[in-house]
Structure 1
Amino acid sequence: MSPRSAEPFREVIDSALDLLRDYAGETASDSKALAQPLPSLLEQCQQLLAEAEVHQDPPPVRTVHHLACTGGTLISRCIAAQPNTHLLSEVDPLSPFVPGGFLPTDLIGLSRFSSRPAGTETQIQLFLVGLGVLYGEALRQGQQLILRDYSHGQFNFSDAVPERPSLREIVSRAHPVQSLVTVRHPLDSYLSLQDTGWVQHFTPSTLDEYAQRYHQFLDTYQDCEVIRYEDFVADPATLMQRICDILMLRYSPDFADTFSAISLSGDSGRRGDLISPRPCRAHPPTIEQDARDSEPFMTLLARLEYSLAETGTR
């Protein structure tokens, strides 16, 4: 091949080499860019979650309210058996049932019995700060925080129902709230209070007085859905689904098999791991006449859609 005839080939080769050099330079530049550290997958997920939370309403704190001896512990154990729940039992930051003396872990109790006793507002703020910690931890763990109210101290203690905010009102200062009220036939719950001696916590300790206080409890939570204990023990699966709908919880039918593993304070009634109606204890015949003679009690029965003849289920 003559030098002249080889010239076109040299031009093509030189052009190809120039292209390779240009590509090599771009590749090196891209390699440097790719070598920069990338955010971890966890960090990216956390960022996406944080951005999503900005556009979502915060989940509510669930509150469950009932008076003493109304079957509330059984229902609360079944709620606590639902998936991803975190239930605190018998909550009332302003409860009068706070013993003095040795309270090393109870900041509210310590503040009450300190050298300068804390007022109501300070006690509420202490409670809300602690609740905020639990609420935040529940969010991080993907759990639903539920507070079971200790309503007995507010409505069935001392000679008058005090003027004070309810647990629901206190919690709503800092968080959205989703609430449920559970009730039981008032005559049966009054008889249980007599059996435990707790009827002496309020004066006068009559059925008429109990009915008036029950009305005040219902007035406080008048905008809440109500579940009757008798309906729950008669059809646990259906009523538990209803409770989960009210509290915006995910329902699992397995609660009937797992609730027995959950232990809560406040289990003052006849303990057991079977959800079923139970016969009422014997009671003096005069109590039914007292009920008929009490206008507050008879209006209470009507308000809760009970009749006097329905007593006898515990």
Structure 2
Amino acid sequence: MSSGGTGTGAAEDACARLERVLAAEPDRLAAGLQAPEAARLLADCRAAAPQPARPVLRSLHHFACTGGTLIAKSIAALPCVRLLSEADPFSTLGYQGAFAPRDLISLAKAGSSPPGQKVLARIFQTGLAALAAETRAEGRDLVLRDHSHSHFCTGKDQPPQRPSMKELLAADYHLLSLVTVRHPLDSWLSLQRQDWLHFAPATLQEYARRYHLFLDHYAGTEILHYEAFTAAPEAGMARICQLLELSASADFQRRIAARSLSGDSGRSGGAIAARPRRAVPAAVAAELADAPAYSSLCARLGYDPDPQAPAWPGQGAG
């Protein structure tokens, strides 16, 4: 980098030269420049140097069984998008064997001396940086779909103590993020049907409590309701493209069928449309009265907690 340049390069070079002089000639400087003045000068120099812009990364966050795969597939169907589905370097779910020839994190965890979270995070961040750089060079937009279920819906009593995906990425990227949600009762019924109750106690109250913690972690992030998206897919995709700064596509629905993502466990079908709500078993109906966190979660997300009410304003009860 030339010291005679302008802008970021010139400011960085000036700071570097000042640091070298302060380090190499402290006695000479002391005669004409007091130490506090030198420190202030160096601090001012650093503050004036324009900071390199962080690359943009898009991230998608939701619980399991909330329609997140449909929304992710819709995003993946947009032009120039590369979407990573269900990423989490700390997940304890999935294959546990030692044979994982393409996966350094799984190999490390199954190896003779498993590393801690900091090393696992560095492996993930380094690999993601390489892929993000390649994606930008190709003129594409990288979208990372977080596997929030691994963080917030595993373990006993409390979610595992670990950084969230947002905390892992925020230092290195300018994040454009989106949280998607579905009526908590509908997602709870689907979670039970899939037998994905990886936390204890496995109750609606505990599920809602963990959902609140998830929303707290992503406070300030825009929320998209699955029911609103399925009711008006074109408007929903326009909003997604605006928030994530993606190029829109009028035919994204036609292209969804060609996209296959992990986590695609919901009811199948070729069109994006609202589906009838599942019947509520008597055991789940009995839980509702003893689940204050469920009622407050519905209020927080704008849903009616009554299982007989429409899942979303303007929809029929189904």
Q: Please report the TM-score for the alignment, with normalisation by the length of structure 2.
A: 0.78
Q: Partner letter of residue 127 of structure 2? A: G
> Cα gap change, 1:125/1:302 in structure 2, threshold over 3 Å: closer, same or farther?
same
- How far the C-alpha of 1:59 sits from its partner, in A, is 3.9
Unaligned runs of 5+ in 1: 1-50
Give the Cα–Cα distance (whole angstroms) in 2 for the partners of residues 310 and 123 of structure 1.
Answer: 44
Report if the CA contact (8 A) 1:230-1:313 is conserved.
no
Structure 2 SS opposite 1:165? coil
- Does residue 153 in structure 1 map to residue 150 in structure 2? yes
- Does residue 178 in structure 1 map to residue 176 in structure 2? yes
Select 2:77's aligned residue among 66, 78, 81. Answer: 81
Select 1:225's aligned residue among 222, 227, 240. Answer: 222
Aligned length: 261
Between Structure 1 and Structure 2, the one with more helix by share is: 1
Report if the CA contact (8 A) 1:278-1:313 is conserved.
no
Structure-2 residue corresponding to 1:278: 275
- Does residue 67 in structure 1 map to residue 63 in structure 2? yes
Structure-1 residue corresponding to 2:89: 93
- Does residue 297 in structure 1 map to residue 309 in structure 2? no
Report if the CA contact (8 A) 2:212-2:297 is conserved.
yes
Q: Partner letter of residue 170 of structure 2? A: S
Structure 1 SS opposite 2:85? strand
- How far the C-alpha of 1:248 sits from its partner, in A, is 1.0
Structure-1 residue corresponding to 2:310: 310
CA RMSD of aligned residues (A): 1.9
Give the Cα–Cα distance (whole angstroms) in 2 for the partners of residues 173 and 59 of structure 1.
Answer: 11
- How far the C-alpha of 1:56 sits from its partner, in A, is 8.1
> Cα gap change, 1:65/1:313 in structure 2, threshold over 3 Å: closer, same or farther?
farther
Deviations 1:211-253 (A, max 9, x none): 0010011001011000000000000000110011111111112
Report if the CA contact (8 A) 1:63-1:148 is conserved.
yes
* Identical aligned residues as a percent: 46
- How far the C-alpha of 1:286 sits from its partner, in A, is 4.3
- How far the C-alpha of 1:57 sits from its partner, in A, is 3.7
Structure-1 residue corresponding to 2:115: 118
Q: Partner letter of residue 91 of structure 1? A: A
- Does residue 208 in structure 1 map to residue 210 in structure 2? no
Report if the CA contact (8 A) 1:91-1:150 is conserved.
yes
Structure 1 SS opposite 2:60? strand
- How far the C-alpha of 1:79 sits from its partner, in A, is 0.6
Report if the CA contact (8 A) 1:103-1:109 is conserved.
yes
- How far the C-alpha of 1:204 sits from its partner, in A, is 0.7
Q: Partner letter of residue 257 of structure 2? A: S
Give the Cα–Cα distance (whole angstroms) in 2 for the partners of residues 78 and 218 of structure 1.
Answer: 23
- How far the C-alpha of 1:263 sits from its partner, in A, is 0.6
Report if the CA contact (8 A) 1:81-1:262 is conserved.
yes
Deviations 1:141-170 (A, max 9, x none): 000000001011111111120121111211
Q: Partner letter of residue 269 of structure 1? A: G
Select 2:137's aligned residue among 137, 140, 150. Answer: 140
- Does residue 246 in structure 1 map to residue 243 in structure 2? yes
| Mean CA deviation greater in 274-283 or 139-148 | 274-283
Give the Cα–Cα distance (whole angstroms) in 2 for the partners of residues 230 and 292 of structure 1.
Answer: 24
Give the Cα–Cα distance (whole angstroms) in 1 for the partners of residues 92 and 116 of structure 2.
Answer: 13
Give the structure with higher Rg (CA): 1
Structure-2 residue corresponding to 1:21: none
Structure-2 residue corresponding to 1:46: none
Q: Partner letter of residue 216 of structure 1? A: L
Give the Cα–Cα distance (whole angstroms) in 1 for the partners of residues 300 and 98 of structure 2.
Answer: 42
Deviations 1:174-224 (A, max 9, x none): 22211000000000000001101112x111111111000100110010110
Structure-1 residue corresponding to 2:30: none
Give the Cα–Cα distance (whole angstroms) in 2 for the partners of residues 239 and 288 of structure 1.
Answer: 31
Structure-2 residue corresponding to 1:15: none
Report if the CA contact (8 A) 2:89-2:124 is conserved.
yes
Give the Cα–Cα distance (whole angstroms) in 2 for the partners of residues 273 and 218 of structure 1.
Answer: 31
Structure-1 residue corresponding to 2:25: none
Report if the CA contact (8 A) 1:212-1:296 is conserved.
yes
Unaligned runs of 5+ in 2: 1-8, 10-49
Give the Cα–Cα distance (whole angstroms) in 2 for the partners of residues 89 and 287 of structure 1.
Answer: 31
Give the Cα–Cα distance (whole angstroms) in 2 for the partners of residues 198 and 118 of structure 1.
Answer: 27
